[in-house]
Structure 1
Amino acid sequence: MSLKLMIEKSFFSSAFLDAPACQRRVNTKHLGRAQLMLAPVCWILLQLTLATAAWSKQLPARYFRLLEAGIAQVGKQMDTQPAANLETLAARPGWKRFPQSILAAAVLYAKQHPANAHYGDPKMLSLAIRIGDLLATECEKGHSETCFEEEWDAHMWLEAYRLLAPELGEERRGRWRRSIEAEVAPLVSDAMKRQDFPWYNTPYIGTSPNHFASWAALMLLSGRVFGNKDWENLGARILHRFAAEEQAPDGYWGEHSRSGPTTGYNHITFTQVAFYWEYSKDPAALEALRRATDFHEHFTYPDGTPVETINDRNRYWRVDSWGHFGFSHFPDGRRYAEFLTGFFHGDDLTMDDLGRLAQDALYYHEGPTEPIPQDQPHYSYQMSVPAGIRKTGPWVVCLSGLISTQAVNSRFYLDRQGNLSVFHNKLGLIVTGAGSKRQPDLATFFEKLQGQTFHMPISSRLQMSDNSGDRLSLAYNTFFTDLYVPRPSEDHLQLRFVMTGRGEPPPEAQLNLQLCLKAGETLETAAGRRIVLGTERVELGPEELGGWIHHHGWRLKTDPMARLTWPAYPHNPYADAPETALEHAVGVVSVPLKLGAKSGKYIRPNAQEISFTLTPD
């Protein structure tokens, strides 16, 4: 019988785990450190690895290089337009949050580290002062709304003030302080009204939790820097509650409710709790950061973007620069921060990324690293709510049975109507499970009965198994479906929907998959159609599809009754209207449901089966 040894994954580097002789499925569990079964062939490598842990060779050094490149662009622009006001500077693409750039110059000047070549550089001090004086001038003119669209800009300025205060002189310190305090004071009044509300979710506090947490962090820092204990204590009380009470067990802070995450904005709330720990050392904050690190590590695609299927506010989100320093308390978190930072480049940083990377450099905790899910050939993760994710070779599949109420009078919250996504390492996102609003035709399922359209499940269950595959069950008013996802191979992934009818069939019901089609590329069908996708409406019926479509390096085998439409423009919550850009459009492959009665049976198992098979070229 072969000898096996259970070893904590924290001992192993990414290269070691990727060694072919050592590859085994890594099944990571919430709040548990993943374990790896090692065969004897790995024993020698094990002995070499146990003695030392891998240290990040990239961070925080890469932060300083990014800051150097990004702030050089700022300095060049301000030299080119010495009389430019804030509105002019912020009009440049990606520079909307220009005020946040001040922290990059301040950190480069004030943060002593061997990797920071600009420590004590008078040019960085001069540039930071120029930016701060510009902000003060705008605020004194009564243009504070253009200065600080959000509290995040004021926080970056305050961080810079704290770092540079000894160099500013009394007059400038007073000038900057007056402007910053004028931004904080209204937030204090608003926060005091809300601090004891039942939950820090939008239906109660009337704003987003990420904003409320950001108010609290700004109040805490303002109170600490300016000696206002009332502000400091109020911010600390709110942030302690975010850490100790508001976070769901799965590591997220629900924005609309605790029933599911808001993946992108969770980074922002996470950042404020991480900031709170830096100033309080509250154990509850560190525990919350550990849970949130597990959540974010697992629900991030290999391209660094957050998984959209479980997000109730955004269909897409860029690689995030927020709060890396909060991840850096933990070995795997440092590797995760390293992974995310690898997607940033100094020549195209936005101003908010520049500011947040500066904050990451300022508070980063150095130490050993350990592998993250993105480093593994296989992993699976299931939350206590019905959502989970599995990586198998090049494939990543997210299944969501999350159920939440609709926010009918808020444009910002999407209906949780998408239930699965499929990502491929080389081809990117192929099937998206993103939600939408007022668009049931984009829901995974809809049914029409009694003059209404229902497009969200009323009950769900997720079962995940390394051996038998994963099963997501979704119940609606007139049927339920079991989505079976067997373990895929390198070149083959199957989605199999099995319908069970219940009661009187609806006059109309439909299954839809949202496909991430690429404008400007060709879509080919088995029936011989070749179409270059653009703004022109495309509607292809079963005869025109012929059983499969080919696009962007993948082929999707479809049900004989499938239809395809393009382009569908999903809801944009910031515009409160459908998207207008083709880059955000999707194609929809749809199949009508046939749930007709069989011999008058109320429950009709296996009433219909619909299968899709994805293969890469």
Structure 2
Amino acid sequence: MYDPIKAQEGLTPDFLKNIQNQIESVILSKASAYFTPEGTAYTQNNPALKKGEMVVNFYDYQPCCASVLGLLSANGNEEALTIVRRLIDNVRYYIGEAREKEGFSNSLRRSQLHLVIAYERLKNILPESEASEWAKVLTQSGADMLDHFSNLQERVPALDNRGFGTGINHVAIAAEGIYKSGVALNRTDWQDTASAFNDRLIAYGHPDGYFEEHTNDAREGGPSLVYTPLTAGCANLIEIWRGQRDQARFETCGTFFRNFMDTHLKTMPFTDERANPHGLGCYGIAIHALSPEGRGLLRLHLDQVNFENMSLEYLARLHLEIDHMETGNGAVPEPLQDRQYRITMPLGVVHAQSWTMGLSAMKALNRETSPNSDYALDRQTLLFLSHPEAGTLISGTKSKHDVGWSTVRKGDDAYPVRTGELDIQTDRATAIVHYETFTVTATWIFGEEPRLVFSTDSPDTLTTQLVLETPMGTPFTIDGNTTATFGDDASTIDGVTTVATEKWGITADQAGRLIWYVAPFNPYSDGNKSTPNTRRPVFAVDWTNHLEFTFRTPL
């Protein structure tokens, strides 16, 4: 449980400086262990990753540490300087010899900014010839980025993934690096190019406070809580550097994001059109410092971060974001308030009587626009449910080409085919969701023991599947008298009406089955395989016309 009084302390210069000091105290040893003289992309990363993910992690993501290492180097740390030199050498190899030798084709994206910051911090300390060589390499990598991202000129007038044929977050990150490179390398043309792109990006962003990734002309894609912070965060920094940030515009981004967090300050996977978010990342985190509620959130969140467990990229980006944070008093953040929130599209959340309940009637658009992309999961889940003491019961995690994760299905008809409707009242929230051959109504009825009601006019038998956020090894009590603990082997228990753990219980008004297990789809791993500890049970009930679940916490 988070302390609302602590939230009201907000952000002070001393608090933020202490966070940066913690980052500086751990980043060097982590960088030394990762960027060893003999290390490669294939030796320094998790072997389960796709080869391409290993490459970008080694040459682009983790080298973001250069900005903080540059600060340490400027203060006389020779080990830090040695690593920054190694990172510059890696850039030279990555955009040069490796293209032919290893078949690399991506430009830098994330690390260009941090390498340029390191250059700014060290150019007057380095030998003149070395500083000139760094500037030459970073000019080459900047030009390579501009070439890779079509000189930041979209091919269609849509600043989402259609504009460049890749994630718009990638382009926003590149623009941030190009702008800063223009400042450091005296390329005003680069500043102008990045500024013009940023103007168009901000104008295109959804008024509700998010930047779309996969969408269409009707803008039915909806938000991504994983990737909107990257896009918004980079746009925010460019506007700060230009001295013309529209504070209200970016406050809206922070408000949007915070409202889709629960009382554990975790984000809700059911909201995201393409990924499965679970927490507050490092990109765009400075946006929250624009409001008292956001500063309250940051005070609570940053107090809990274990910096030893964070990646080099996370540490460096957070350090940078803190440099651009407002200080001031805080307030109780939205996730800890009783409130209702929805966006224009049928996606909303209610915090009531300690429960956080989410509901969606969004279309599964990615099945039309990106059916074969590992990085565009299927929007197939309708629900979220969590409680301060019981934790998350239903996260709304989504998968790819796997109907076992869909909230409602009739065989393989398991994905909403058009945008539905959402209505939130004082005592309930109702979604009307359209599938290919049937329409279903899903209703949260608020209370100390919330109820979830499904109904349909279809005469056919439907199946509701509640994927439960309980990991392998969790003891279950079935119908009050049978216990079960699941391990490596798949199994199913039939004739189940009540499923309970020591933290919560769920009762259906008709018998179903407890299925162990469904396995998540991992976009980043080789073969999309997930680890066994991510497997989840499913409470599935076949029904016609009407079905009701009741949720409770232990007495």
Flag whether TM exceeds 0.5 (same fold): yes
1:500 match: 457
Where do 5+ consecutive residues of structure 2 fail to align? 48-53
User: Offset at 1:537?
Assistant: 0.7
Q: In structure 2, what residue type is equivalent to 1:500?
A: D
- Residue 267 in structure 1 maps to residue 267 in structure 2: no
1:469 to 2:459 alignment: no
Partner of 1:239: 198
**What are the equivalent positions in structure 2 for 1:177-192 lying under 5 Å apart?**
177-189=135-147, 190-192=149-151
CA distance in 2, matches of 1:583, 1:335: 33
* C-alpha distance in structure 2 between counterparts of 1:149 and 1:226, whole Å: 18
Deviations 1:351-398 (A, max 9, x none): 11111122123222223323311343x122111111111122432111
One-letter amino acid of the counterpart of residue 328, structure 2: G
Tell me how far apart the structure 1 counterparts of residues 223 and 363 of structure 2 sit (CA, whole Å): 11
Residue 151 of structure 1 aligns with an amino acid whose one-letter code is R
Tell me, in whole angstroms, the C-alpha distance in 2 between the residues paired with 1:75 and 1:218: 21
* Unpaired segments ≥5 residues, structure 1: 1-12, 19-52, 110-119, 595-606
Deviates more, 1:352-361 or 1:367-376: 367-376
Deviations 1:279-303 (A, max 9, x none): 112344x343121111111112333
Deviations 1:207-247 (A, max 9, x none): 001001111111111112111122221111111111122x1
Distance 2:515 2:381 in 1: 17
Q: Report the counterpart of residue 272 of structure 2 in structure 1.
A: 311
Q: Please list every run of at least 4 consecutive aligned residues from structure 1 whose deviation after the TM superposition is greater than 6 angstroms.
A: 92-95, 144-149
Cα pair 1:446 1:456 within 8 Å, conserved: no
Aligned partner (choices 471, 488, 501) of residue 447 of structure 2: 488
Counterpart code for 2:88: A
State whether residues 304 and 343 of structure 1, in contact with CA within 8 Å, keep that contact through their aligned partners in structure 2.
no
Match of 1:423 among 373, 379, 386: 386
Map 1:394-543; keep pairs closer than 5 Å.
394-405=354-365, 406=367, 407-448=370-411, 453-466=413-426, 468-489=427-448, 492-501=449-458, 505-506=459-460, 509-526=462-479, 528-542=481-495
- 1:584 paired residue number: 534
Which letter maps to 1:559?
Answer: D
In 1, distance between residues paired with 2:36 and 2:277?
A: 37
Name which of 286, 290, 298 aligns with 1:329.
Answer: 290
SS in 2 for 1:264: coil
Amino acid at match of 1:531: A
Structure 2 match to 1:130 = 82
The code of the aligned residue for 1:456 comes to P
Structure 1 CA distance for aligned equivalents of residues 6 and 319 of structure 2: 32
Mapped partners of 2:371, 2:41: distance in 1: 35
5 Å matches for 1:368-383? 368-376=329-337, 378-383=338-343
Equivalenced residues, count = 529
Whether 2:301 is the aligned partner of 1:345: answer no
Q: How many angstroms does 1:188 deviate by? A: 0.9
Alignment match of 2:346 (pick from 367, 372, 386): 386
AA matched with 1:519: M
Are 2:30 and 1:66 equivalent residues in the alignment? no
Tell me the SS of whatever aligns to 1:389. Answer: strand
**AA partner of residue 581 (structure 1):** T
* Partner Cα distance (1:16, 1:337) in 2: 10
Say which is worse superposed, 335-344 or 307-316, in terms of deviation.
Answer: 335-344
What's the CA shift for 1:182?
2.4
Residue number among 8, 15, 20 corresponding to 2:5 in the alignment:
15
Worse-matched range after superposition: 171-180 or 93-102: 93-102
1:297 to 258, 280, 284: 258
Q: Distance in 1 between matches of 2:7 and 2:293?
A: 14
Partner residue, 1:164: 122
1:103 aligns with 2:59: no
TM-aligned CA distance change 1:494 to 1:411, over 3 Å: same
What letter is aligned with 1:122? G
Partner Cα distance (2:231, 2:10) in 1? 29
Change (3 A) 1:150 1:568: farther
CA RMSD, Structure 1 to Structure 2 (Å)? 3.0
Is 1:549 the counterpart of 2:499 in the alignment? yes
- 3-state SS of the aligned residue for 2:322? helix
- Aligned twin of 1:593: 543
CA distance in 2, matches of 1:348, 1:193: 35
How many Å separate the matches in 2 of 1:396 and 1:122?
50
Task: Give the 3-state SS of the residue equivalent to 2:261 in structure 1.
Answer: coil
TM-superposed CA distance for 1:194, in Å, is 3.6
Q: What do the CA deviations read for 1:23-79 (whole angstroms, capped 9, x no partner)?
A: xxxxxxxxxxxxxxxxxxxxxxxxxxxxxx96547641332232133225237648x
Distance 1:441 1:71 in 2: 41
* Paired residue type of 2:126: L
Task: Tell me the CA shift for residue 581 of structure 1.
Answer: 1.2
Give the equivalent residue in structure 2 for 1:598.
Answer: none
The residue type equivalent to 2:517 in the other structure is: P
8 A Cα contact 1:264 1:306, kept in partner: no
Show CA shifts across 1:389-423 (max 9, x none).
Answer: 11224321111112242221322111211011111
Query: Are 1:230 and 2:189 matched, yes or no?
Result: yes
Aligned residue identity for 2:548:
I
Question: Equivalents in 1 of 2:325, 2:547: separation in Å?
Answer: 52
Q: TM-score, normalised by structure 2?
A: 0.87
How far is the alpha carbon of 1:347 from its aligned partner?
2.3
Residue 554 of structure 1 contacts residue 614 of structure 1 at CA under 8 Å; is this kept in 2? yes
Structure 1's 459 and 612: CA in aligned 2 closer, same or farther, altered over 3 A? Answer: farther
DSSP-derived class of the 2:206 partner: coil
Task: Give the distance between the partners of 1:64 and 1:16, measured in 2 at CA.
Answer: 20
1:539-573 CA-to-partner distances (Å, cap 9, x unmatched) read: 1111xx2x211225211112323112111013222
| Contact 1:579–1:585 (Cα < 8 Å) also in 2 | no
**Hey, what does 1:121 align to over in structure 2?**
75
Contact 2:120 2:184 survives alignment (8 Å) = yes
Percentage of pairs with the same residue: 18
TM-score scaled by length of structure 1: 0.78
* Matching residue of 1:566: 516
**Deviation of the 1:107 alpha carbon:** 4.3
- Structure 1 residues 599-610: aligned runs within 5 Å: 607-610=545-548
Which residues of 2 match residues 69-84 of structure 1 at below 5 A?
69-74=25-30, 77=33, 83-84=37-38
Helix, strand or coil at the partner of 2:457: strand
Measured after TM superposition, the shift of residue 447 of structure 1 is 2.5
Residue 140 and residue 367 in structure 1: after superposition, are their counterparts in 2 closer, same or farther (change >3 A)? same
Task: Measure the CA separation in 1 of the matches of 2:175 and 2:492.
Answer: 51
SS at match of 1:328: helix
**Structure 2 counterpart of 1:69, one-letter code:** S
Task: Specify the SS of the correspondent of 2:553.
Answer: strand
Partner of 1:210: 169
Aligned letter for 1:155? L
Q: 1:92 to 1:438 in 2, by over 3 A?
A: closer
Give 1 or 2 for the bigger CA radius of gyration: 1
Aligned residue type for 1:497? F
Offset, 1:87:
4.5
